Structure 1
Amino acid sequence: MAEQAQPQQRLKLGLFGGSFDPVHLGHLALARVARDQLGLDQVLWLPAGQPWQKLGQRAMTAAVHRQAMVALTIAGEAGMLLDTRELLRAGPSYTVDTAEALARQHPGAELLLIIGQDQLGRLHSWQRWQDLLGLVRLAVVARDGQEVRASAEVLADVPALPIERLAMPAVPISSTLVRAAASRGEDLTPMVGKKVAGYIAQHRLYSEY
């Protein structure tokens, strides 16, 4: 009797975007939690080219540096991949454009968007957020015991919003803190790891923050 073909398991991809200016160990901890708790095949790290929400604010560090620092951070990490499509795309970085491209590239894959509670609260301000929710499920990590809950504007349109909650201890690191510490000449290793700390020092990044 011929063996029955086993159904192919659906590919699960985590979308992890951000300025990563610079990437730090809190980012890595969140990516690991998402990978392990959600059973992701890959976490795609998506450094933003021109984050639309930060237009008009502080000029971001050059893409080549932010890309290099992410690559150093995830080197040797199972199931993590640097995806540079937003760095290469002209104009502002919109998550919905990336999700549409990935859906075409990986038909049938399950896309999970990894975000924080603060981003979930602003989801209604995102470009074509309704279309985005048709392409991805949300994987949300709450900070400092916050309740994982979307804004009233989102819930009015999608009352049964599917959310995966990520359980993660608080990591008291932010890119803002790293930049400030770098400007003071402090050792960044505890916040970004040895490789990224060395890269920041070598290229004198954030020295005038």
Structure 2
Amino acid sequence: MRAGFPVARKGMVIGLLGGSFDPAHAGHVHITREALKRMGLDRVWWLVSPGNPLKARGPAPLADRLTRARAVMRDPRVVVSDLEARLGTRFTAETLERLQAIYPGVRFVWLMGADNLGQFHRWERWQDILRMVPVGVLARPGWGVRGRVSKAARIFRGERVARGEVLRVRDAPAWCFVNLPMDGSSSTAIRARGEWRV
């Protein structure tokens, strides 16, 4: 395995939670633990991105965001990673293609909050993402209905499965909306309050 890359064995099912994590907070921790439990994942990798193509403002330095994420997410089943920077990928579809090539025999499940499902159709090659890996959508405050009636949800409604654990074995395209107790933490609100410090 390449230096700096997480270790994964053939047959493992790994959830990928990508984002700016600017900053990481209790809401990220909450949905990660719920995904591990409700989808039966072996591991979750946080993919702390170098930047977000959909946001005009750049995030805090990557090193600072990684440090904060590692301080917040303390679970041996979770790896906080700068894989996208190491891979040199900018878009999720590219990242997934590279990871599938590097980790043959490992099953990946893309994880996202319902807020991301609401604007998923704006992502580069979003339909390819849904065809590459199963997608687990986790409820977020104020986004339950909006996420479920989004453009992506409507177009791929026939591929929706009822339970999160099905994503362990079902090939893409497949997605699930997972209702769970809500955590209202928000990176935007934390930054607005001036609380974002390493």
TM-score (normalised: structure 2): 0.77
Q: Counterparts of 1:19 and 1:105 in 2: how far apart (Å)? A: 23
Partner of 1:138: 135
Sequence identity of aligned pairs in percent? 30
Contact 1:17 1:45 in 2 (8 A): yes
Partner of 1:74: 73
Picking from 111, 115, 119, the partner of 1:118 is 115
Which digits, 9 at most, give the CA deviation of each residue in 1:39-65, with x for residues without a partner?
1111000011121111xx223111110
Q: Unaligned 5+ residue runs, structure 2?
A: 1-8, 160-173
Partner of 2:83: 85
Picking from 165, 172, 176, the partner of 2:177 is 165
Greater C-alpha Rg: 1
TM-score (normalised: structure 1): 0.74
Q: Unaligned 5+ residue runs, structure 1?
A: 1-7, 189-196, 204-209
Partner of 1:18: 19
Matches within 5 A, 1:1-209: 10-54=11-55, 57-75=56-74, 77-90=75-88, 93-144=90-141, 146-147=144-145, 148-149=147-148, 151-152=150-151, 155-156=154-155, 158-161=156-159, 162-181=174-193, 183=194, 200=197
SS in 1 for 2:54: helix
SS in 1 for 2:23: coil
Contact 2:11 2:106 in 1 (8 A): yes
